[in-house]
Structure 1
Amino acid sequence: MTAGGPVLAGQKPAVGFDPYADHVTASSIRFLYALNPLAKLAAPLPAMALLVFVRDAATPAAFLALSYAILLVGVSFTRRLVILLIAIPLAAAAIGLGFALWTDPAKVDQSVVIWQIGSWMLYGGALEVGLATGLRIAAIVALALIAGMSTTGPDAVRASVQQLRVPYRIGYTALAAFRFVPRFGYELEVIRQAHRVRGTHGGRGPFSAVGRWFGYVVPLMAGAIRHAERVALAMDARAFGAYPDRTERHLVPFRARDVVFIGSFLIASAAIFTVLFPWGL
């Protein structure tokens, strides 16, 4: 991904090519990749905060549909996106059923009985409350995916440093720490393969699995310490933190398109809340 957006199909990377970011090959219609990360965070944030206080099912369902429409148009159609779009409604249904079972029957409408086992009854009012809660959680998650599915960690840090004036010592140190996670995964896989080659897998069963994991700890910690030392030496060699400001090689500008996206999303959110008005009189 370049500093100004995604690498389009058939287009060569610009000079500001970032080898550490997750590169996305997408057409120009996938507009979310070209937006500033802060715009994708700021636009749905008011709706996410207000959804915490709504109690109906229509309002979160409307925001869930809006989020799905933006994701289907704005990001590339990948397997991970399909899994998430299918998993969110299923999770909402499961959460809604769980909350319906936990809801106090004395505080809901008891005119409709959905399910009865002996003296225990599941009322329609309890199911309505549970599904509304599940939809509310699903809508908040879907709104968060607008930024999560189209933003890389380096770009989010750069935008925070450049637009929010977050000290670069904090931003890039946190980014370096987060990059330890995939490094640990890679080294763990190498250690497991080395153990298999040497025939020290330890057999099968739960006790053997525990023994194998204990055998991974020492080499994994040694590799982590080596990697941390190399990162620290590399940062010291580049005089990281020696000056109050840092020259940015990759810029993440805040453009007019970002203002338009934030304004459009806020208008759509206000329209949904105004039409449905989930708080009553």
Structure 2
Amino acid sequence: MIPFVPNPLALLIAQLSLMVPVLLAIDPYTPLVFFVMGLVNAVAVGKLRVIQFLKILVPLSTVSLSLFFMNLLFPAQGVNGLARGWAVFLRSFSLISLSTAYITMVSPYDVIRALMQNWRLPYRIGYALFAGWNTIPLIRRDIELIQKAQDIRSGGQKSKKIPLSRLPVTLLSGIILHGERLSLSMAARGLDRCKKRSFVVLVPWKRSDTVYDILIILTAALWWILLIHFHVFTFELG
């Protein structure tokens, strides 16, 4: 049996359908329900890379903790600070977890390809996103080159780290040069004139993706209705 590998956009729709009820809730139960659903979905369908997921989630969870202590220590008049802080913590933690899970489940390149192939994202924007993503690793390389150049200028002796205040100008000049080369390369390939391009890597939208999204949306809607019916769900957008 061929394993189900969902389209990155199908995973995006699924995660968003789980995040909407959490975004609108201020009770402690709704975030827990959809957090568990999202985690099961990520492990079973998205083949979640747990170690990478935790490496990103743990630092980001400090935002949720700060919101908890803000509400606990500085509650509004007539509001139970502990209950309010716990609900806000769970909501923000669930939203961060669901977002982080999606980031670790998909490849950025596949997301961009899927947007161009399935949602008609203009090629100019898609390839610009490719170029921008590829530029990120170059920044670290440029910082190392700048440091080596500084060592050479200091007579071969290992100099102190360059202050962060001096890095932006040097880095910006390198990024501008890299951007000019990319724009010339993209213009030479006719990206501004081409209406239909072929792809080496295809990321098609399959019927199974549609079925998967329908099942996730229906399941999320059913749980949301149950939470509202039993007066567990409390609406608050702020």
Same fold at TM > 0.5: yes
Which residue in the other structure is 1:249 paired with?
200
**2:7/2:114 contact within 8 Å kept:** yes
CA deviation vs aligned residue, 1:211-263 (integer Å, no higher than 9, x gap): xx42x455434432332232123222222222222222221101133123212
| CA distance in 2 between partners of 1:176 and 1:203 (Å) | 32
Q: Residue 41 of structure 1 aligns with which residue?
A: 12
Letter in 1 for 2:211: V
Larger gyration radius, structure 1 or structure 2: 1
Question: What is the one-letter code of the residue matched to 1:187?
Answer: D
Name the amino acid aligned to 1:95: L
* Residues 92/224 of structure 1: CA separation in 2 closer, same or farther (3 Å cut): closer
Supply the distance in 1 between the matched residues of 2:185 and 2:61 (Cα, whole angstroms): 45
Mapped to 2, the partners of 1:129 and 1:229 lie a distance apart of 51
Does residue 100 of structure 1 match 2:72?
yes
Question: Aligned-pair distance for 1:35?
Answer: 1.5
Question: Of 75, 88, 99, which residue of structure 2 is paired with 1:133?
Answer: 88
Aligned positions of 1:11-50 closer than 5 A: 34-50=5-21
* Structure 2 residue 132 is the aligned partner of structure 1 residue 177: yes
Aligned length: 227
Choose from 256, 263, 268 the match for 2:214: 263
Over the residues paired in the alignment, what is the CA RMSD in angstroms? 2.8
Task: Answer whether contact 1:57 1:136 (CA < 8 A) is retained.
Answer: yes
The aligned residue for residue 186 of structure 1 is 141
C-alpha deviation, 1:274, in angstroms = 2.3
Give the structure 2 partner of residue 195 of structure 1: 150
Indicate which of 182, 186, 189 corresponds to 1:238.
189
Q: Which has the higher contact order (CA 8 A, sep 6+)?
A: 2
Structure 2 SS opposite 1:43: helix
Question: Structure 2: any 5+ residue segments left out of the alignment?
Answer: none
- Report what 1:162 is aligned to: 117
Q: CA deviation at 1:54?
A: 1.3
How far did 1:136 drift?
Answer: 0.8
- Give 1:201 shift: 6.5
Give the letter aligned to residue 192 of structure 1: Q
Once the two structures are TM-superposed, the CA of residue 56 in structure 1 deviates from its matched residue by 0.7
Q: Which runs of 4+ in 1 moved over 6 A?
A: none
- 1:145 is matched with 100
Q: SS at the partner of 1:49?
A: helix
TM-score scaled by structure 1?
A: 0.69
Measured after TM superposition, the shift of residue 198 of structure 1 is: 4.3
Deviations 1:40-99 (A, max 9, x none): 111122332332221210010111222223334433545322334545666534422222
Give the match for residue 163 of structure 2.
Answer: 209
Correspondent of 1:225 among 166, 176, 193 = 176
**Which letter does structure 1 place at the counterpart of 2:16?**
L
Normalised to the residue count of structure 2, the TM-score between the two structures is 0.80
In structure 2, give the amino acid aligned to 1:265. I
Per-residue Cα deviation, 1:12-61 (whole angstroms, up to 9, x for no partner): xxxxxxxxxxxxxxxx87x6xx2211111111223323322212100101
- Distance in 1 (CA, whole Å) between partners of 2:59 and 2:39 is 13
Q: Which moved more, 1:251-260 or 1:221-230?
A: 221-230
Are the counterparts in 1 of residues 19 and 98 from structure 2 also a CA contact under 8 Å?
Answer: yes
